[in-house]
Structure 1
């Protein structure tokens, strides 16, 4: 499939001319903005530069599921919007997640970046902590002026709209941020949206843990498959659950993705005389490998 790309226009360039201010996180001090590439990774090509992202972390999930979570939505400078498409309601599900990409105009990206500012991503608003246990934290990221700004909101979608543990100002700030998050995550379903197409990854991270036989009440599954890539499990990203990670690019990535398309989430893969359960995480345009996933748990 041809990768969707928008025309780079002056409207898109304005994204990088917006004034910079301190990076903020809810409950954290401002002033720690970091320019793209500060982690040692080379800067992304202009079209692959991340502008906006909504993702979740934390919550009551297993340690082995924290690394490799797919962001709810990622918006890039050339107008690509990458999100998760409909998921098949079967168990076990497909081995590969259903990622889709749609195209918006660079002007729309500029508008959304300004809306992020209005919604408090760069304001340093105190969002508080509502009285909800084991909820996820929503992180909204905006990249403008060569710097990255984030705001974290615990239990943004789980808490009451007027949570008694929060002040009126905190409730109002959370309502404004939640409205922006809904608009961003609903881009693919907007009436004016172009039809989403499958996202074709050029790189993939594979997360491997020792395979454990599922319960006997499940339908019979296909037998072990020969692993077509480099030896598993790779470098450990979660040593406590023996979860390793490998980054594959080029022909290796395409070979592994082709094999994964015929497998399900519980398929045992044989490598080095051992069976492994593998999660396949297509890498997004701004992601370089396992380290990006490790640092965003």
Structure 2
């Protein structure tokens, strides 16, 4: 039979083991003396794993250590710490002014920041909408009578949108002006996605007027919105060894993409060009061997032609 391990006299953190006491179920326990002169009973597993290093007297020390840390400039999830405001009146934890990725400001304690309890100003709980789907709808749907009509040549894509948005209507086949097979599905105007779009500036395409860009979208969600919108509004191919990437949309939407890629990827600001086949549609053109691969990965684009 293997000899039982005796840890009497050994030290773990501030604790020195005195003797073994009655087990707790199948778990061995030890009486320990802390450097602060207090005695405490600790599970053997907690001692050897380092989970327990004192009788509890270390907790105020750890809290004080965390409380004196300068968190200004650090980022925790969606929150970037701006400056210290003082101390929370109840918990006595340091209180910080933080800016959320949605550009809202909020006050958060050190404890909630470092523990991960606070991840945002609360905007993460405000909306469960998919901004990728919002972007896709913004670019691939329109008002049609009492419905919002979505059309795309990819039936699986429409099934995905149907599932996420809760559309009850069935998908039906249609043929485009160029005699290509396509698919449509009708969405109710009172659907939360349509209502959110209307509140944020969506008016759809009206005659020769440009399709407007959204208002009030939080910066963090802009990336997903742009990925959804340009999922079908681009072409990517190569001319010999030169990559060629073109995005198609109204000037306002291309300008949003142009600025976004410049801020987050460091791409150069491009001149938005006219489209020879449309008065409304414009083109944003990239052909740099350094920029195109970065944009392709960032926007999750596949190599395809329009």
Q: Specify if TM > 0.5.
A: no
Structure whose residues are more often helix by fraction: 2
Work out which of the two has the higher radius of gyration on C-alpha atoms and give 1 or 2: 2
Q: TM-score, normalized by length of structure 2?
A: 0.24
Larger RCO, structures 1/2 (Cα 8 Å, 6+ apart): 1
Which structure carries more strand by proportion? 2
